[in-house]
Structure 1
Amino acid sequence: MELTEAREGGVAYIMGNAYMRAKHGSGLVKRVAINVEYEFLRRNTRGPRTALTSPHASTLEVGMIYHV
């Protein structure tokens, strides 16, 4: 519904994100490696979204969480 409204309003910028989380019941080492270290690397190795010159009202963010 939000995508249809954005398309009717003009140009829409769709940004996709993927996040990883450790499954419930995973070992401590796996949880730390995925939940802490991967998140740190993801935040610090990708360019900031502010580098885009798209207006905030025309931006739609979609995401998916992977449980590994």
Structure 2
Amino acid sequence: MEGSVNVIGYGLAAIGPGIGVALIFAAWITATARQPESAGITRPMLFMGFALVEVLALFGLVLAFAIGGGN
């Protein structure tokens, strides 16, 4: 079995952003269902939250490669 522990670490670290994205979209859907007229106002906040959570996942991926040293 070949591989790196960094890959396993990144796989575990990707669970957090996955849950975060799910919570962000669930909150937006709930808010829009309660007040449909606010969808245009809350949509930019949805995408900002989504982008911030995804950046954390990308940082984890870059860190896994940086620590691994290209093995």
Shorter-chain TM-score bucket reads 0.3 to 0.5
Higher strand share: 1
With structure 1 as the length reference, what TM-score do the two structures score?
0.38
